[in-house]
Structure formats: structure tokens, C-alpha cells
Amino acid sequence: LRNIVRRYGSAGGVFRPARTVSVLEEVSLTVERGRILGVVGESGCGKSTTGRVALGLEVPDAGEVLFDGQPMPKPDTREWRQMRARAQMVFQDPLGALDRRMTIAEQIAEPMVIHRIGTPGTRKERVAELLTAVGLRPDQGRSHPLQLSGGQRQRAVLARALATTPELLVCDEPVSALDVSIQAQVVNILLRLQREFGLGMMFISHDLKLVGNIADEVAVMYLGRVVEKGSPEQLFSDPQHPYTQVLVASIPDPFRRRPRPALKGEPPDPSHRPAGCPFHPRCTIATDLCSTELPVLRRVSGRQMAACHFVGAATTDPLEVPA
Ligand code: SF4
Ligand code: MG
């Protein structure tokens, strides 16, 4: 993703003026083959839109999406459909992603039917393999979604996402809707399959601790902008952006004596974007400069970059850092 801008317009009504909500502003991110990019931030920061733009499900208003070095084809063209087989998405709600009237096996086979992969016989074999790969029994393929638990359903969604042997998987809060007790199981399956298939993965979550545990690179988003990126080690041990610092400090730690820091002010509202630094109304070290000048991403050290006036040195190309 190179300098992606995405804005939603709403037509005015009798009581509402027409307005534009800016969802993404100059977002540049790279998912490398075989690696995991974690994207974190509060709800409304543009994480999901970032994932949808990366898959060509949503067309940006400005900027460039490259997949395997090629520009993203226009939606609903033949090239776009071919690309869609190579990049898949796993959403938060497995029940919403599945059709209750179809069996699990039918739904895992469906992408292969759509993309004309294999014969009925080979598809059946592949479905059995995929069920085993995600830790379901082949006979569970005959079940309907409502006959499975939430964790089993998300495994089925994962099996379906892998049916076309994609190279890129975008996972949007893939375990947030699941019971805490089974989240780790599903994450472990996801990681095992990611390694086995050499998948590039964008893992979107509000849970910085989880993302830090599994990602190779992490991007922190705030109000449609990437405010910091780097390795999990860098972000956890030496967060530079004041927002990342609060996020890291708020990770629950049973041994912490001091109270956890909180964010002051309102959570971000994309329809009311503050001038200057988007974080300034909640930043404890903001100065006058912050309410007028937008800080750009600047290099801190190595791969770590942050968008704060008081951090790092100027750099010209936000894509120099592969996060
Ligand atoms: Fe805070 Fe200013 Fe840095 Fe924004 S630019 S994070 S308001 S200090
Ligand atoms: Mg979301």
C-alpha cells in the first residue's frame, strides 16, 4: 500500500449537511511474503479498511495498491478475480462469514468451484486435507455451521480461506469473537498454517499484546494514519510515539503495582479529524505546533519509524521500512 487515501462521502439530508469522512490518510504498508504484519489501533482507526483496500475489496481515492509488484486490477474484472484467489480474508465473525444452509465441506470447496480449481474428486480430497490441517475431523465437513462451536467455525473459515492456496491472508480480528479459552488454539493454528504455506499475513487487531507476540512487523494506526511502525521488540521496549507509549503501558500486567495510564479525552472520531497531529487532543506532551502541523513518519532507528514532531529524523520514503 503506497500513500493510500480513503474517504467516505455522505450526501446531506434535511437536517444533516453533506460531509466527507476521511478513513485512511497516506497509509503506506508492505506485507512481505512469508511474514506477518500486525496492524493495531482502537476501533475506528481504519484497520479494517486497510485490510479491504489491500485485498482490492475497496478502491482507494488516492494512492497505489501493488500485489506481487503489479497494480491491483479493477474490481470484477477477470484479472481481479484471478488475484482474489491469491489473497483471502478471515473476518471476526465466523458465523456471519458462513452460510447456515450449506455444509462445512460445501463451503470449503466453494472457492475452488468459483475459481475452477480441480475436479469434484480432487476437491473432495482437498477439503478433507484442509479440515485436518485446521484441526477438524473430515466427518465434521458434513456438519452445518450451527452444529459447530465458535472455534470450530473459525477453523472452517480458515480452511475455506486456504482452499485456493493463497499467498496473502488478511485476518481482521480473527479471534476477537471467540472465547478467551480457545483464542490461543485458533491463533496457534493460524501461525502453523502461515509457516507451512509460507503465507504473507496482515493480522489486524486491537490487541497489541497478541499482535506483538506473533507479528514480524507492527504498524500502529490512529485516526486513519500509521503513527508508528517497527519490530515488536522495538515497539515494546522503546515505543516512540506518545500513543504507542500509552498502548504499551496499558497492556495488562498482573505484577504491575502502579495504576495503568489511560488516554485522556474522547476516543478518535473519524468524522472530526483534528488539525495538525491527529493525536494532539489526547497527547499529554502536545505543544502549539502539534495543533497546526501534521507530523510525518520519521526514522527513529533501524526499521522503526514514528509520526511525532519530537521523534526521529526526517526521511523521504515511507516505504523504506518494510512494515
Ligand atoms: Fe503528541 Fe505532538 Fe507528537 Fe502529536 S506531534 S504525538 S501531539 S507530541
Ligand atoms: Mg474493524
The ligand 1 atom nearest the CA atom of 278: 4
Query: What average pLDDT score do residues 168-185 get?
Result: 92
258 against 309, higher pLDDT: 309
In a domain, 78, yes or no: no
**Cβ–Cβ < 8 Å for 39, 217:** no
Q: Distance from the CA of 47 to the center of ligand 2, in angstroms? A: 6
- Tell me: do 143 and 290 sit in the same domain: no
Q: Are residues 117 and 45 in the same domain?
A: no
Q: pLDDT tens digits, residue range 284-301?
A: 899 999 999 999 999 998
Position 82 in a domain: no
Among the ranges given (10-24, 178-192, 228-242), the one the predictor scored with the smallest mean pLDDT: 10-24
Residue nearest to atom 3 of ligand 1 (CA): 308
Residue 79 counted as domain residue:
no
Ligand nearest to the CA of 290: 1
**Which of 263, 264, 280, 294 has the most ligand 1 atoms within 8 A of CB, as the residue to mutate?**
280
Task: Assess if residue 108 is contained within a domain.
Answer: yes
Q: Do residues 157 and 173 share a domain?
A: no
Q: Which of 244, 297, 308, 311 to mutate to test the pocket of ligand 1 (most atoms within 8 A of CB)?
A: 308
Residues 301 and 237 in one domain: yes
Domain-embedded: residue 80: no
Number of C-beta neighbours around residue 219 at 10 A: 28
Q: How far is the CA of 258 from the centre of ligand 1 (A)?
A: 24
The CA 259 to ligand 2 mean position distance, Å, reads 28
Q: Whose CA is nearest to atom 6 of ligand 1?
A: 308
pLDDT at position 257 is: 66
Residues 237 and 203 placed together within one structural domain of the fold: yes
Domain boundary among 166, 186, 221: 166
Sheet of strand 62-64, all strands in order from the earlier edge strand to the far edge: 19-27, 2-10, 62-64
Q: Write down which residue in 166, 188, 215 finishes a domain.
A: 166
Same domain, 292 and 202: yes
Q: Are residues 206 and 299 in the same domain?
A: yes
The answer to whether residues 47 and 176 belong to one domain is yes
- pLDDT at residue 264, as a whole number: 75
- Please tell me whether residues 143 and 111 are part of one structural domain: yes
Q: How far apart are CA 239 and CA 15, in angstroms?
A: 44
Which helix (H) or strand (E) is 278 found in, with range? none
Q: Residues 113, 8: one domain?
A: no
Question: How far does the centroid of ligand 1 lie from the alpha carbon of residue 279, in Å?
Answer: 6
What's the average model confidence in pLDDT over 250-273? 74
DSSP 151-177: HHHHHHHHHHHHTT--SEEEEESTTTT
CATH number at residue 23: 3.40.50.300
* Conformation bin of residue 223: beta by default, left when phi > 0, alpha when psi is -120 to 50: left
Whether ipTM tops 0.85, in short, is yes
For residue 58, the model assigns a pLDDT of: 94
> Does any domain span residue 63?
yes
Percent of the chain with pLDDT over 90: 76
Model pLDDT for residues 200-217, shown as the tens digit of each residue: 999 999 999 999 999 999
Number of domains in the chain: 2
Q: Looking at residue 317, what is its pLDDT? A: 54
**For the chain, what is the mean pLDDT?**
91
Higher-pLDDT residue of 271, 259:
271
Instruction: Say how many Å lie between the CA of residue 280 and the centre of ligand 1.
Output: 6
pLDDT band, residue 313 (cuts 50/70/90): low
State in Å: Cα 263 to ligand 1 middle: 13
Residue 323 clears pLDDT 50, i.e. is over it: no
Task: Decide if pLDDT at 182 tops 50.
Answer: yes
Residues 91-117 pLDDT 10s:
888 899 999 999 999 999 999 999 999
Residues 129 and 216 in one domain: no
Asked whether the predicted pLDDT for residue 9 surpasses 70, the reply is yes
Q: What are the pLDDT digits (tens) for 143-164? A: 999 999 999 999 999 999 999 9
Domain housing 210: 2-68+168-254+266-320
Is the residue at 96 inside a domain?
yes
Task: For residue 83, tell me if it sits in a domain.
Answer: no
Ligand 1: residue of 290, 298, 305 to mutate (most ligand atoms within 8 A of CB) is 290
pLDDT single digits (tens) 72-84: 999 889 999 999 9
Of 119, 149, 166, the domain-final residue: 166
Atom of ligand 1 at shortest distance to CA of 284?
A: 1
Task: Judge if 126 and 183 occupy the same domain.
Answer: no
